[in-house]
Amino acid sequence: MTIYDLGIIGGGLAGTATAYFAAKRGARVLLLERRDLNLGASGSNAGSIHAQIPFDPFRHLGADWAARYAATIPLFRASIARWQSLEEELGGSLGISVKGGLMVAETPTDLEDLRKKGAIERGAGLPVEDWDAARLRRDAPFLSTRMIGGNFCPEEGKADPFRVTPLFARNAVAQGVDLRRNTAVTALHRRDGVFTLETPNGPFQAHKLVNAAGSDAARVAALLGITVEIEGHAIQVAVTEKRPPTLPYLLYFTGEKLTLKQAAEGGFLIGGGWPARLENGRPQVDHRSMIRNLVIAQTVMPELDGVEIVRSWAAMVNGTADWRPILGEVRDCPGFFLNLFPWMGFTAAPAVSEAIAALAIGETPEIALDAFGL
Ligand SMILES: Cc1cc2nc3c(=O)[nH]c(=O)nc-3n(C[C@H](O)[C@H](O)[C@H](O)COP(=O)(O)OP(=O)(O)OC[C@H]3O[C@@H](n4cnc5c(N)ncnc54)[C@H](O)[C@@H]3O)c2cc1C
């Protein structure tokens, strides 16, 4: 039986990107996906390219948490830089646009907190500008006049979740990756430095293994007796009919969960992590969440009044309670690597997966992941 250099579990963005980067470096790679590619969070997300620390956990977990979480900012920045060279490298459009992200506040207390958060972010090297009400009126005239100030980060933007994973997969296969769809990993063993992956299509073997199973990563790690505190949460997004271009930025609001942006085609994407329902284990749109999300969007941007919702969907996101990514080799299980970036893993995947690929084939990655081990 072939023993691959590297086996990867999960055909989302983390798995396909890791496969591509490892194969490009000369490794013999196997990628196993239990369904089809991009059917998990990677193909169902809102496409925001984030760099600012989210406000909701900042409010609930505090400034000390934010100071610790700021260690992820270099990962986001490296990934955003990587996103911008990927279209040329992978040979296709990814719908990437980096025109900045604006987080706005309606109350003096929130604005004060936003400024504290901005100071932490600047301390970690992220460019964040303080925008007062006059600047909002000038550079964001679409906002409600109830917004009194905001933090603007020029490095944020958006990309198209339908395009990136398939393009990584195509390039991975071109680099020689053995990609198997409809091949769920049901058991794992490690003996004499070789992993055996049991699947309904027979066993496979690899010297190293990467767990990129997203919201199911805890179940996959448990197959080797390893506990990983990552879990699946059902969340949802809605998209409106097309409208003339108005909103160039990725927009957030401190008052309630919101991300809002306008696609190149004209539709507004409205999200922010509102909870969906689980029905027989499958995520379904929760209409109460949707109405709340839409009311907030309209509070921030009044011209959304009367704009029709044309589509909404729900999916499982990979989440950790403290938002911390879990990355790198598991100390107690040499050769087993985790590529688990919660909540904002779409943004982080390119640079982080390149680093995981380098580590898994024994090279030194360009970005340090040491602080994010299990
Ligand atoms: C609605 C929503 C909106 C989001 N918005 C954003 C956003 O705007 N910006 C952002 O940065 N992030 C966003 N995220 C988060 C982001 O999408 C995820 O963090 C990221 O896509 C995770 O990628 P992944 O490849 O690790 O996981 P996934 O894309 O979930 O892929 C994991 C894959 O592993 C497979 N798998 C699981 N178990 C097995 C097994 N035993 N054998 C074989 N295969 C297996 C699954 O079938 C799946 O295909 C959002 C997520 C959701 C759900």
Tens-place pLDDT, residues 308-347: 999 999 999 999 999 999 999 999 999 999 999 999 999 9
Residue nearest to atom 41 of ligand 1 (CA): 185
Nearby residues of 110 by Cβ (< 8 Å), 6 or more positions away: 55, 254, 255
Q: Which atom of ligand 1 is nearest to the CA of 259?
A: 8
Q: Compute the average pLDDT of residues 125-145.
A: 98
Instruction: Tell me the two tokens of residue 359.
Output: 């580590």
DSSP letters, 242-289, are: E--S---SEEEESSS--EEEE-TTSEEEEEEEEE-EEETTEEE--HHH
Report the alpha-carbon distance of residue 254 to residue 259 in Å, rounded.
Answer: 10
Helix axes 345-360, 73-90, angle to 10 degrees: 80
Ligand 1 lining (C-beta closer than 6 Å): 9-15, 32-35, 39-42, 44-48, 50, 184-185, 212-216, 220, 235-237, 271, 315, 317-318, 341, 343-347
Distance between Cα 42 and ligand 1 center (Å): 4
Cα(165) to ligand 1 centroid in Å equals 11
DSSP string, 46-84: --EE--SPPHHHHHHHHHHHHHHHGGGHHHHHHHHHHHH
At the topology level, CATH places domain 3-44+162-229+323-372 in FAD/NAD(P)-binding domain (3.50.50)
The answer to whether the 3-44+162-229+323-372 and 98-158+231-319 domains have the same CATH topology is no
Distance (Å) from CA 135 to ligand 1 centroid: 37
Domain parsing of the chain, residue ranges? 3-44+162-229+323-372, 98-158+231-319
CA of 212 to the centre of ligand 1 (A): 9
Mutate which of 98, 318, 354 for ligand 1? The one with the most ligand atoms within 8 Å of its CB, which is: 318
Task: For residue 316, list its beta bridge partners.
Answer: 234
pLDDT tier for residue 116 given thresholds of 50, 70 and 90 = very high
| Ligand 1: centre distance to CA 12 (Å) | 6
136 CA from centroid of ligand 1 (Å): 34
Reported pTM: 0.98
The pLDDT, as a whole number, for residue 156 is 98
Centroid of ligand 1 to alpha carbon of 41 (angstroms): 3
pLDDT at 146: 98
Mean pLDDT of the chain: 97
The pLDDT confidence band at residue 370, using thresholds 50, 70 and 90, is very high
What is the pLDDT at residue 191? 96
CA nearest neighbour of 269 among 230, 239, 311, 224: 239
Four-way CATH pick for 98-158+231-319: 3.30.9.10, 3.30.565.10, 3.40.630.30, 3.40.50.1820: 3.30.9.10
pLDDT of residue 12: 98
Measured from the Cα of 14, ligand 1's closest atom is 25
Q: Rounded mean pLDDT of 101-129?
A: 98
CA proximity to 172, closest of 321, 374, 29, 71: 29
Helix (H, G, I), strand (E, B) or coil at 170: helix
Residues 310, 290: Cα–Cα separation, whole Å: 13
Token pair belonging to 108 = 């003096």
